């Protein structure tokens, strides 16, 4: 083992970012929100769902299990690449929006947690966008500096020449 490897092995290893599995909680929230919405709008009771809401919900739950983002997924309402299909996505968003107001009264803690998750996803997105714009700025500065160096040297030379 070389010295470099030894030094490397002594350095603290960078911790992988912690991933919390919020998927079961999100599913539970979606299920309950669907129940609230359907009971209020489609004449069903006891959190049971009508045929249409059942179809939307089962599609959503299947798709969540196959989510390409894994357990680190953003909540479905915030997803930039919704995978439910155009119509199911539209239905899903309408049901979640409509059911959430009722959820706040019957399951306030769950609703607030869900809201926090959506804010978290937004925050991560802002941070990511900021990072890329910072990098772009850095790149622009680097190019500028290079350009300035390239133009400066012949100028100073020509000044010297004139003095002579
Ligand atoms: Zn329904």
**pLDDT at 98 > cutoff 60:** yes
Centre of ligand 1 from the C-alpha of residue 41, in Å: 7
Q: Percentage of the chain with pLDDT > 90?
A: 41
Assigned domain for 121 exists: yes
Centre of ligand 1 from the C-alpha of residue 96, in Å: 12
Poorest-pLDDT segment among 8-12, 52-56, 75-79? 8-12
Residue 36 neighbours by CB distance under 10 Å: 21
Calculate mean pLDDT across residues 2-24: 76
Assigned domain for 1 exists: no
Q: What is the pLDDT of residue 45?
A: 95
Assigned domain for 148 exists: no
Centre of ligand 1 from the C-alpha of residue 116, in Å: 26
Handedness of CA 110, 112, 113, 114 (dihedral sign): positive
Q: pTM for the complete prediction?
A: 0.66
Q: How many domains would you assign to the chain?
A: 1
Assigned domain for 144 exists: no
Centre of ligand 1 from the C-alpha of residue 110, in Å: 21
Assigned domain for 161 exists: no
Assigned domain for 53 exists: yes
Assigned domain for 66 exists: yes
Give yes or no for a contact between 59 and 84, defined as CB atoms under 8 angstroms apart.
yes
pLDDT tens digits along 71-81: 888 899 989 89
**pLDDT at 97 > cutoff 80:** yes
pLDDT tens digits along 117-155: 888 777 777 778 888 888 888 888 888 888 787 766 555
Q: What is the pLDDT of residue 161?
A: 55
**pLDDT at 7 > cutoff 80:** no
Centre of ligand 1 from the C-alpha of residue 39, in Å: 7
Centre of ligand 1 from the C-alpha of residue 49, in Å: 5
Q: What is the pLDDT of residue 44?
A: 97
Quote the CA–CA distance of 74 and 59 in Å, as a whole number.
18
Domain that holds residue 120: 23-125
Centre of ligand 1 from the C-alpha of residue 20, in Å: 31
Assigned domain for 69 exists: yes
Cα–Cα distances (Å) from 30 to 11, 67, 114, in that order, read 44, 15, 10
Q: Residues whose CB is under 5 A from ligand 1 (ion)?
A: 38, 42, 50, 53
């Amino acid at each position: 083992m070389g010295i470099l490897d030894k030094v490397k092995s002594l350095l603290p290893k960078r911790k992988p970012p912690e991933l919390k599995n919020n998927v079961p909680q999100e599913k539970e929230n979606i299920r309950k929100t669907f129940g609230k919405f359907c009971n209020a709008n489609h004449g069903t009771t006891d959190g049971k769902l009508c045929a249409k809401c059942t179809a939307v919900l089962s599609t959503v739950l299947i798709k969540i299990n196959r989510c390409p983002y894994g357990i680190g997924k953003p909540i479905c309402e915030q997803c930039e690449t919704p995978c439910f299909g155009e119509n199911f996505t539209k239905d899903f968003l309408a049901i979640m929006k409509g059911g959430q107001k009722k959820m706040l009264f019957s399951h306030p803690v769950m609703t607030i947690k869900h809201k926090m998750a959506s804010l978290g996803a937004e925050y991560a997105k802002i941070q990511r966008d900021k990072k890329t714009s910072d990098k772009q700025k850095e790149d622009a500065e680097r190019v500028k500096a290079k350009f300035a160096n390239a133009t400066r040297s012949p100028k100073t030379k020509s000044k010297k020449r004139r003095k002579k």
